[in-house]
Amino acid sequence: MNRLTLVLLTALAPIAWGTTYLVTTELLPAGHPLFAGLLRSLPAGLLAVLISRRLARGAWWGKAFVLGALNIGAFFPLLFLAAERLPGGVAAAVAGAQPLIVLILGALVLQERIRPLAAAAAVIGAGGVALVVLGPAAQLDAWGVLAALGGVTATGVGMILTKRWGRPSGVGPVAYAGWQLTAGGLLLLPLTLLVEGVPAEIDASAALGYLWLGTVGGIVAYTLWFRGVQQLPVIAPGLLALLSPLVATALGVLVAGERFTLTQALGLALAIGALVLGQVITRPLRASRPATTESDAAAALAAPR
């Protein structure tokens, strides 16, 4: 698979996640965001494990639960807490800081050199997202901002560990995603039952919404995402994550009839420009097969940079 194809396939994940807000508000029963997160992760994870017929072994039981906790189990509750305490635009703007977090963590953990252009792309991307999603009446809540930062930091650490640990030999991306979705779903299960419970009624529209979140936004998106994180330089998928709030805003304009201002258009141009710049300046993949297994990942991390 060439680099452009890998980037485009990886980009499908944040594009799919960008539909979550519209699906949640238009199709799902109100007041049950954790239940939505549970159905987005646990059934999809179990299905992926069933399809792949591969269970974790040895140390990978612990690694799978750590990654599942960071990427799903911790991220969803913090995301929903931020959504409750902050306007959606503020929460999305905070999420736009993830490329910076990933860039710093990549330097600390993976010893990836911070390139000035990569840092500039991360800053421009965060600023562009802020211009797109922040309105003049945006209000800040300290706990909400901390929750949003905690959520993007958790997934940022998850991205770094995903790249550092690689994948066990002989395990495909579907099984790998399934382990994490199942682990995250199992962590969400008691929290969902204790805090929210099950909606009193799930109609056909809600069932369709849950199906979309669990398939396209769950097993498909996470399989593509984890593969891209492992095979691309760390900042590349970090910047691709900016697509999620941009797609959410675009759907709000196209489907929900929201207004789109000149300032938002400028922010969109900046964010897309930063995203493209981040893919151009990162080191090209080697002609040989990228590091996707545990042994290959260790060799890649030991290589001079």
- Pick the range with the lowest mean pLDDT from 3-12, 72-81, 158-167, 210-219: 72-81
Helix (H, G, I), strand (E, B) or coil at 291: coil
Share of the chain above pLDDT 90, in %: 34
Looking at residue 300, its pLDDT comes to: 34
Share of the chain above pLDDT 70, in %: 84
Q: CA-CA distance, 142 to 283, in Å (whole number)?
A: 38
Spatial CA neighbour of 109 closest among 76, 143, 70, 78: 70
206, amino acid identity = A
Residue 152: alpha-carbon gap to chain centroid: 8
Ramachandran region, residue 111 (left: φ > 0; alpha: ψ -120 to 50; beta: rest) = left
Spatial CA neighbour of 281 closest among 215, 227, 234: 234
Buried/exposed code over 232-252 (b: 16+ C-beta within 10 A; e: otherwise): bbbbbbbbbbbbbbbbbbbbb
In 86-220, alpha helices (H): 88-95, 98-109, 116-133, 142-165, 173-195, 204-214
Contact indicator for 147, 85 with CB cutoff of 8 Å = yes
- Side-chain-side CA neighbours of 95 within 13 Å: the count stands at 31
- Per-residue model confidence as pLDDT tens digits over 60-106: 999 999 999 999 998 878 877 776 676 655 666 667 778 888 888 88
Q: CA-CA distance, 253 to 256, in Å (whole number)?
A: 6
- Pick the range with the lowest mean pLDDT from 200-214, 223-237, 247-261: 247-261
The dihedral sign for the CA sequence 117, 118, 119, 124: positive
Looking at residue 134, its pLDDT comes to: 67
Spatial CA neighbour of 3 closest among 299, 294, 279, 304: 279
For residue 295, pLDDT beyond 50: no
- Pick the range with the lowest mean pLDDT from 97-106, 208-217, 281-290, 291-300: 291-300
Contacts of residue 160, Cβ cutoff 8 Å, sequence gap at least 6: 102, 105, 106, 109, 110, 234
Phi, psi (degrees; rounded to nearest 5) at 270: -65, -45
- Per-residue model confidence as pLDDT tens digits over 109-122: 887 787 888 888 88
Looking at residue 59, its pLDDT comes to: 93
Q: Is 31 exposed, middle or buried (0-12, 13-18, 19+ CB in 10 A)?
A: exposed
